[in-house]
Amino acid sequence: MKNDDLDHATMAREQQAGNFAFVATAIVFVGSVISYVYLKFTLGPGNLALFPEHVSNFKIIDPTAQKSAYFVGVGFLVLFCLLSATAIASRFPDILQLRRPHGGLLERYYQSPARNWLEDFFEKARLPAWSIAIVLLIAIAVAYYFSEYASPVLFPQGDPHIFYVGGELANALVNNLSITPDMMTAYGVGPALIYAVAETALGSLSQYDFYMLARVSNILMVASFFYLCARVIRLEGNSRFSAPMMWAAVGVCAGLLGPFNSTLVTMPNLSALRYLPFLGLFLFLALSQKQGNGNLRLNVLGTASLGALLPLFPDSGTFALLGWLLYVATSQQASLIQAMRSLGYLALSLISAVAVSALLVWFTGHPLHLIFVETVLRFGKNLGGAPISVDTPFFVLVIFAVFTSLYIAYIGFRKNLDQIERLSLSLSACFLLSLMYYVNRPSSLYWIFGLLIVIPIHCMFLKAMRFGSFRAAQICFICCYVAIIDISAGQWKISHRSTSKHIDFSDPAYASGLLVRKDIAQPYNERLKDLSDMDYAHDGATVFTTTPMAVLELGISDLKAREIVFKTNTPSSLQEILAHLGNEKPNSILMEQDWSSAYAGPTAKISKQRISSGISDRYSLVCESKWWRVYRSKELSLSADIAC
């Protein structure tokens, strides 16, 4: 790469930005280590609202200190970084050794065979657009071929997760039932509306159909991300250094396109259904790279569209919208006029969100906009509280995202950012905002972080090579890409290899449209047939089960299904359930008998005992079958014509 055209002012600006970001990131690193040590030795069972069986089964710890440390720590670090790094940046020597390639190590590198070999390798390792399209088509074909096979480990988990994320609310919308506050989860109304539209168009949905909706959303997310990568490569003139970005993108997306029904398909909260606003963000960012700077119509359309998604997807919608607003706001150098223009875009997004909320209320007749309000007001209340552990590759990417955001933001106050810089700043900021997911529940299955960080890594690598900082290029390339490889490999192992090991390809049986082992499918189907044949189920009953979506799939009118793991995990949620039963006054309550393949079986067993005890003053046990216990309202006389 040629650096002869770099003037002294440009080099000085890049040097100060590097110093500022380096010092600020070092402060963040030290603060993170201190926070980790504090959390590691202070978090414990504490005063949890959850029932003991949920604490032990899901390994939950007291999130109070975790939440406090997160918000206080972030505020302190941001303030301290800005004050200290700004004062130090202009006084430090060139920490990252940004210089032109004259003499010493860099001159030897630029003239060495190693550099030629590296560039030749990148040139040959590039993936052309047609090859990416072929890989995607093959992955889709293989995924469709294996789409009916389900792991016996994950199969019982899919139903309650689908019900909790949006299945219950979708059923209420389709059948015009009353919507209660416990249906309003933090995932928003978006997944429920997708389920409701699909159910209206296709009829009753099986578990296979819900898996296919998740799989289609995953494929669309991957396609939009590769389209953005292709636009970046085209913008920079098909750089020979695009190979690492494309291979990293393939590694990150491999888990989403895996052939089996993994956790990224069976659990909608881990699939792209939860992150659909990021799909919109990738598309608008890609189109902006094509249209060029200052495209007013595209900026307005992107702002209004992502604002419209805000009430549908409160968490991911907020992060995607803020990332887009940051991209739009940095189209010109920081000034009062640009700040006013940015406030105008913010106002447009809020108007769009309010308009969509009003349309939801008018069209459905339900106050669905309150889901977003509930999410904002109760943010952090239901913090996952999973144990904190050392995840070195992920932590490397976090530090890199901090450095990239601060580096480009510093430059943005002194000159107009180019499109690649704006894109990297937007995605890095989205990465840091999305850390709320990780803080809520540390896990290696948040693939969205990989998608958000690939392009910023590529941008900083090119910038380092352009300004002759071989040290920075080495750090960026080796550490970050190795971290992405490690995360991609771990994600693939967790979500697919462990899934395929347990699948029975020899003699499976169908259950809710999926092929699972016979010892799973047989009791699953027998339970549903027993319920369908039971007279009490057709007499205004409420069913408590670990497979509520399967119960709704039966299509029995006036039969309500309630989930007994996630919906009864605290004393307050249990009292809400009992209060709903008091208001609804079902004629019968059907309680699922314990069975070996039930999700969170020991936890569900205790929950059923609590519910049975809570309804004992109004309902009496009248009969039992192999799969169900029937409680009849004491206000109703028993009929000899109703059989168990």
189-227 confidence digits (pLDDT tens): 889 999 999 998 888 888 999 999 999 999 899 889 988
> How many Cβ atoms are within 10 Å of 303's Cβ, its own excluded?
24
Return the structure tokens found at 392. Answer: 């070195």
Q: pLDDT above 90 covers what percent of the chain?
A: 10
Q: Does the pLDDT of residue 535 top 80, yes or no? A: yes
What gap in Å lies between CA 294 and CA 419, rounded to an integer? 11
**pLDDT for residue 104:** 40
The residue-averaged pLDDT of 30-56 equals: 60
- Give the model's pLDDT for residue 302: 92
Give the full edge-to-edge strand order of the sheet including 619-624.
560-563, 541-545, 588-592, 628-633, 619-624
pLDDT of residue 54: 58
The pair of structure tokens assigned to 220 is: 């669309």
The one-letter code for the residue type at 119 is E
| pLDDT for the residue 539 | 82
pLDDT tens-digit map of 468-498: 555 555 566 666 777 777 777 766 666 665 5
Q: Among 94-103, 151-160, 364-373, 600-609, which stretch is predicted with the lowest mean pLDDT? A: 94-103
- The answer to whether 307 touches 350, Cβ cutoff 8 Å, is yes
The pLDDT, as a whole number, for residue 213 is 92
Specify whether the CB–CB gap between 556 and 609 falls below 8 A.
no
Most confident of 34-38, 386-390, 457-461: 457-461
Cβ partners under 8 Å of residue 390, min gap 6: 36
Distance CA(537)–CA(419), nearest Å, equals 61
How far is residue 644's CA from residue 623's CA, in Å, rounded to a whole number?
6
Decide if 188 contacts 375 (C-beta within 8 A).
Answer: yes
DSSP 91: T
